Structures are given as structure tokens and as C-alpha cells.
């Protein structure tokens, strides 16, 4: 069922009571992890811009949040960093870029454990199932999706370190057109669902064996 057909389904609006908190937690932890690791690597820029914060309002990007609600794939405002402040520039960029996706993997694993515990204790209800199911799905999606080498996603920062200088024109092209490519492909094809959907189904199949 598409997002637009969901608009006439009352159950969809009720589910948002649980889905929106899951989205806010996942995005906030993701961006906080970027800011925290950048500061630890020697760059005070995130703290200076108020991004070393667990307040969701400090991190939300209107378009990225809308994409999450429509497609369950999206982003928050990129954390500003200055790689020149890192004690070791390349490793600083790598660890700062990976911090967000790794925090989402950690949140996903915690959500799986809590889901299993609540289920076995017979404390699971429809709302909690929606919340933790969304936490599992969104955090895996954020981890995978943000590693794509397209601005404003985290993989674009990794690309600046990993790609040889002679191919720097690729970075320049993606910086200029990457956002349009990302939004256009999401609206036209919703291709991440085709990639991550099967992974999610397999993951739920594995951990359902533990229930």
C-alpha cells in the first residue's frame, strides 16, 4: 500500500503516534553520534553550531523528514564539520562519517533485544510492536541508506577520502547534482525499498525464530 492510499486509512494516522517518536529518536541519535565523534576527533564546529545535542529540533531537516514519512528513507540536517580541525584528517572524516550509521545499527540491535524480551514476557501490545518494529526498520534503513555516496548522505564524505584525486570530478558532479538525483530517484522509483525491503524481511525472519 502506497503512502498516498494510506492517507484515507485511519489506522495509518493512529500508527504515527508510535512511528514519529521512533523516527525522531533514530535521527537524533544518528546526528548526535556524528557531532560527538567529530568533537572527540578535535573539531569543535558541531558544538559551536549547537549540534552536540539530543534535542530532535536541533537536527531535523524538513525535506529529509518528509522523505522518511513518505518512503521510510530520509535524513536529518548534516552536522557541520571542519576536517582541518581533526587531529588526523582522513581517519577523522572516516570515523565521523561512520558514527551515524554505526549508531543506527546499535539502536537496531537494542530494539531487537527489547522486542524479544517484551514478547517473551507477554508485555507486547500493538503500539509497542509498531514502535519497536519501526525502530528496527528505520535504523537498518538509515544505516544502509546513509552510506550511499550521494550528498547529503554520509557516504559522500567517505567518498572524498576513498576516491583517488584523479577522479575528483566525480565528487564535484555529485556535490552539484547529487541532491537532485537522490530526490528524483526516490520520487520516481522508491528504489531503496526494493533494496532494503528484502533485507528487512530476512532480518525479521531470523529474529522471529528467537520469539
Burial bucket for residue 50 (CB in 10 Å: 0-12, 13-18, 19+): exposed
| Known active-site residue 129 | no
The dihedral sign for the CA sequence 114, 120, 123, 125: positive
Among 31, 126, 129, 175, the active-site one is 31
Which among 175, 142, 139 is positioned nearest to 156, based on CA atoms?
175
Across 131-150, b (16+ Cβ under 10 Å) vs e yields bbbbbbbbbbbbbbbbbbbb
Q: What is the C-alpha R_g of the chain? A: 18
C-alpha cell at 201: 524481511
- Residues annotated as part of the active site: 31
Amino acid at each position: 500500500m502506497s503512502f498516498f492510499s494510506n492517507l484515507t486509512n485511519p489506522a495509518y494516522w493512529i500508527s504515527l503516534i508510535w512511528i514519529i517518536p521512533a523516527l525522531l529518536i533514530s535521527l537524533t541519535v544518528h546526528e548526535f553520534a556524528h557531532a560527538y565523534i567529530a568533537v572527540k576527533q578535535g573539531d569543535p564546529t558541531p558544538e559551536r553550531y549547537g549540534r552536540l545535542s539530543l534535542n530532535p529540533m536541533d537536527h531535523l531537516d524538513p525535506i529529509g523528514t518528509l522523505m522518511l514519512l513518505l518512503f521510510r528513507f530520509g535524513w536529518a540536517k548534516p552536522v557541520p564539520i571542519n576536517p582541518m580541525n581533526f587531529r588526523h584528517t582522513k581517519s577523522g572524516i572516516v570515523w565521523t562519517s561512520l558514527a551515524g550509521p554505526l549508531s543506527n545499527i546499535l539502536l537496531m540491535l537494542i530494539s531487537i533485544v527489547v522486542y524479544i524480551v517484551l514478547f517473551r514476557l507477554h508485555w507486547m501490545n500493538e503500539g509497542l510492536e509498531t514502535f519497536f518494529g519501526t525502530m528496527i526498520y528505520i535504523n537498518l534503513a538509515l544505516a544502509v541508506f546513509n552510506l550511499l555516496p550521494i550528498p547529503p548522505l554520509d557516504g559522500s564524505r567517505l567518498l572524498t577520502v576513498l576516491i583517488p584525486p584523479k577522479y575528483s570530478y566525480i565528487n564535484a558532479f555529485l556535490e552539484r547534482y547529487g541532491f537532485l538525483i537522490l530526490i528524483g530517484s526516490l520520487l520516481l522509483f522508491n528504489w531503496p525499498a526494493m533494496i532494503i525491503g528484502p533485507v528487512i524481511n530476512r532480518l525479521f525472519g531470523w529474529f522471529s525464530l528467537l520469539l
